[in-house]
Structure 1
Amino acid sequence: MNLNATLFAQFVVFFILVVFTMKFVWPPLMKALDERAERIANGLAAADRGKAEMAAAEKRIAAELAATRDESTKRIADAEKRAAAIIEEAKQQASVEAARIIEGAKADAEQQITRAREELRGQVATLAVAGAEQILKREVNAAAHADLLNRLSTEL
């Protein structure tokens, strides 16, 4: 066989292979590559959207945390003010109650002092009368009078 004919036959077979590949094999390969490129692009776009949504969510969370911190700080301050007011009110009530109790105790002490004085006056009067009776029953003797007065003073 001739070399030219062989080359020509190989060229024809190669041309048929190229035409067959371009007509039947190449379109499905290109279609698969295009679909894969589209899926990759969609995945990258979804990842970018997810990142943007995540950043927005983090901003919202940070804002809500700041608002919550502010609100909790405000509530704590209000609670501290209320506690201070309650403590101050309790102190005032305790002061008023203490003053009332002290006044009652002073009045009671005055009454007891008055009663004790009255009892002492009664006892002194009784002792004075008893001493006078004893002095009058005896004869008038200075030594005896002094002795009676000493006993009387020890009884008082």
Structure 2
Amino acid sequence: MNLNLSMWYQAGVFFILALVTAKFIWPPVIGAIDERMKKIADGLAAADRGRAEMQAAEKRVQAELAGARDEGQKRIVDAEKRAQLIIEEAKNTASAEAARILAAAKAEADNQVTKAREELRDQVATLAVKGAEQILKREVNASAHADLLNQLKIEL
């Protein structure tokens, strides 16, 4: 066997094997590798987008929470103001009602005092007439002496 001829055969077989490998084996392997690289790149990009979206969502949530806190504080302040207004209104209403009741009671008391004075005047006039009867030992006619009795009431 000739060493040169054997090397040429081996070189030919190697060249044919390289062509077959380049034509039939490498394209699916390279395609699978490219596909895998694309999937990995897409996954990393999706992870980056997800992270960015998560950060944006977190910022929106923080803004919403801050807005909700502010709104809650405003509502609490408004409720406190309204409670104070209701309390003040109730106090004013109670004061007005107390003043009205006091004025009505005072008017009623004044009416009763006036009525009692009138009754006392009538009683004193009657007693005066009875006293005069006793002194004079005769009956005094109330209708005949009405002017005298009215004058006596006025003086008392």
TM > 0.5 fold call:
yes
Percent identical pairs in the alignment equals: 67
Deviates more, 1:45-54 or 1:14-23: 14-23
- In 2, the alpha carbon distance for the partners of 1:115 and 1:35 equals 115
1:65 paired with 2:44, answer no
- In 2, the alpha carbon distance for the partners of 1:96 and 1:34 equals 90
User: Number of aligned pairs?
Assistant: 134
Q: Secondary structure of the residue that 2:31 maps to in structure 1? A: helix
Q: Which runs of 4+ in 1 moved over 4 A?
A: 10-15
- Cα deviation, residue 129, structure 1: 2.5
CA RMSD of aligned residues (A): 2.8
Residue 151 (structure 1) aligns with: none
Residue 127 (structure 1) aligns with: 127
Q: Which amino acid aligns with 2:61?
A: I
- In 2, the alpha carbon distance for the partners of 1:99 and 1:19 equals 116
Deviates more, 1:11-20 or 1:59-68: 11-20
- In 1, the alpha carbon distance for the partners of 2:84 and 2:62 equals 33
| 1:5-46: CA deviation from partner (whole Å, max 9, x where unpaired) | xx87x9465653443122211112111211111111111111
- In 1, the alpha carbon distance for the partners of 2:136 and 2:108 equals 41
Residue 112 (structure 2) aligns with: 112
The TM-score, its normalising length taken from structure 1, stands at 0.71
- In 2, the alpha carbon distance for the partners of 1:116 and 1:13 equals 147
- Cα deviation, residue 60, structure 1: 1.4
- Cα deviation, residue 80, structure 1: 1.2
Q: Secondary structure of the residue that 2:23 maps to in structure 1? A: helix
Residue 85 (structure 1) aligns with: 85
- In 1, the alpha carbon distance for the partners of 2:40 and 2:84 equals 64
| 1:85-135: CA deviation from partner (whole Å, max 9, x where unpaired) | 232133123212321221121011111111012112212322343344346
Residue 20 (structure 1) aligns with: 20
Q: Secondary structure of the residue that 2:116 maps to in structure 1? A: helix
Structure 2 unaligned residues grouped into runs of 5+: 139-156
- In 1, the alpha carbon distance for the partners of 2:132 and 2:68 equals 93
| 1:48-74: CA deviation from partner (whole Å, max 9, x where unpaired) | 111111111111110121122112202
The TM-score, its normalising length taken from structure 2, stands at 0.71
Residue 102 (structure 2) aligns with: 102
Q: Which amino acid aligns with 2:22?
A: M
